[in-house]
A = this chain, B = another copy of it.
Amino acid sequence: MFRSRRKRLLFARVLLLLKNRKPVARRRNAHMLKYPDAKVISLGIGDTTEPIPEVITSAIAKRAEALSTLEGYSGYGPEQGEKPLRTAIASTFYAGLGIEEDDIFVSDGAKCDISRLQMVFWGKCNHGSARSIIPVIYVSINWLMFDSSVIMGQTGQFQKDVEKYGKIEYMRCTPENGFFPDLSKVSRTDIIFFCSPNNPTGSAATREQLTRLVQFAKDNGSIIVYDSAYAMYMSDDNPRSIFEIPGAKEVALETSSFSKYAGFTGVRLGWTVVPKQLLYSDGFPVVKDFNRVVCTSFNGASNICQAGGRACLSPEGLKAMSEVIGFYKENTNIIMDTFNSLGFNVYGGKNAPYVWVHFPGQSSWDVFSEILEKTHVVTTPGSGFGPGGEGFVRVSAFGHRENVLEACRRFKQLYN
């Protein structure tokens, strides 16, 4: 394959661009080499740091031990997930919204399901769509959605002058538009990736905004892929699920995860809701394609981890999860207060464990470098999330309390 030099170079460039998506880690490592004695604090990536509540780990351990008994052993489970867990997810997160147990697919995390969705959509294209899918990318979407599209070669050429892919429609979200795109200026696309509460901006879409988004999708025959992995962090009265919006079941699916609720980033457990009412324009249910991809490309989440999921949704588990979330929300407040007291315009924080700090007119990579150099704290430059993130830095609230306090002390020294 790949005998054409031009195409080979294009592919190499795409890979290079993708490779550059982990520059923060490279910069952190270089910094640690330069200052081997410095206590580097990472508030960069959104990785959980606090132990998993014991009520959850003991359920996992119990299930693991049962697997060495004849009565407790189980082999292949349903690819869609064990029924009690699917039922618990439906009743915990979607009560009264008309989402049923068989609309829920248990996964090994939202990231993995988003890739399987790519298989669904590109497969559908290859099987007969007259045109290829042009995803709308909400500017501050989780990049994983974007990356897997790029890998599948569905995003068109990267246009270096504007730093955009040709077949992606970008939606600029800034303080000026309340971090919600002006839909009157957005072209029609097949797929809309949308993440709320948002990573990295920390903003959450309001009921009225989501109602407009659902109507926009309806008018255009688009499918919304809605990422609600931070819904439990919400303080405002915004919708926790896209399905709180009337009519959303006909235009949207939703993906979520236990990662940031229970510290399951390493355990791996999530879910995706594909309502049976969601149809392609030919009337075929999306859920049938998704089910087929799940059954073919996945053998279900680990039975041990699913036991952990069930424990998360028990009354004791829910209480324990809300304590973990409360802890990270306190971290968020500490970071918000710090930057507010220093006179910065600070966004996010209230509904998500991310603080989006504005450095107007500055390059976010320059700000990132200055913070790292002078405080030994790793943040994430906003432009890493797309062109709309320029001039911002994301500070993550995932960290031990003493590290967050120490980072904030150093921020105060730097900016006071």
A interface residues with partner B (beta carbon < 8 Å): 1-4, 6-8, 10-12, 14-15, 18-19, 45, 47-54, 56-58, 60-62, 64-65, 67-70, 72-77, 108-109, 111-112, 115, 118-119, 122-131, 133, 144, 147-148, 151-154, 190, 263, 265-268, 280-282, 284, 288-289, 292-293, 296-305, 308
Contact = CB atoms under 8 A, between A and B. Distances in A.
Contacts of A115: 119, 296-298
Contacts of A2: 124, 128-130, 280-282, 284
Contacts of A282: 1-3, 8
Contact of A280 (B1, B112, B298): B1
Contact of A302 (B19, B129, B267): B267
Contacts of A11: 124, 127-128, 284
A293 B151 contact: yes
A73 B288 CA distance: 38
A254 B73 CA distance: 29
A296 B151 CA distance: 9
A190 B154 CA distance: 21
Number of copies: 2
B10 A128 contact: yes
Contact of A65 (B6, B57, B122, B126): B57
Contacts of A266: 67, 74-77, 300, 302-303
A75 B72 CA distance: 28
A47 B76 contact: yes
B75 A54 contact: no
Contacts of A109: 299
Nearest to A8: B282
Contacts of A12: 284
Contacts of A129: 1-2, 7
A125 B2 CA distance: 8
Given A125-B1, A296-B144, A108 B64 contact: no
Contacts of A299: 108-109, 111-112, 265, 268
Given A45-B76, A112-B299, 17 more contacts: A1-B124, A2-B284, A6-B128, A7-B128, A10-B128, A18-B296, A51-B67, A57-B64, A75-B265, A111-B299, A118-B119, A119-B151, A123-B153, A126-B153, A144-B296, A266-B303, A268-B299
A73 B49 contact: yes
Contacts of A288: 15
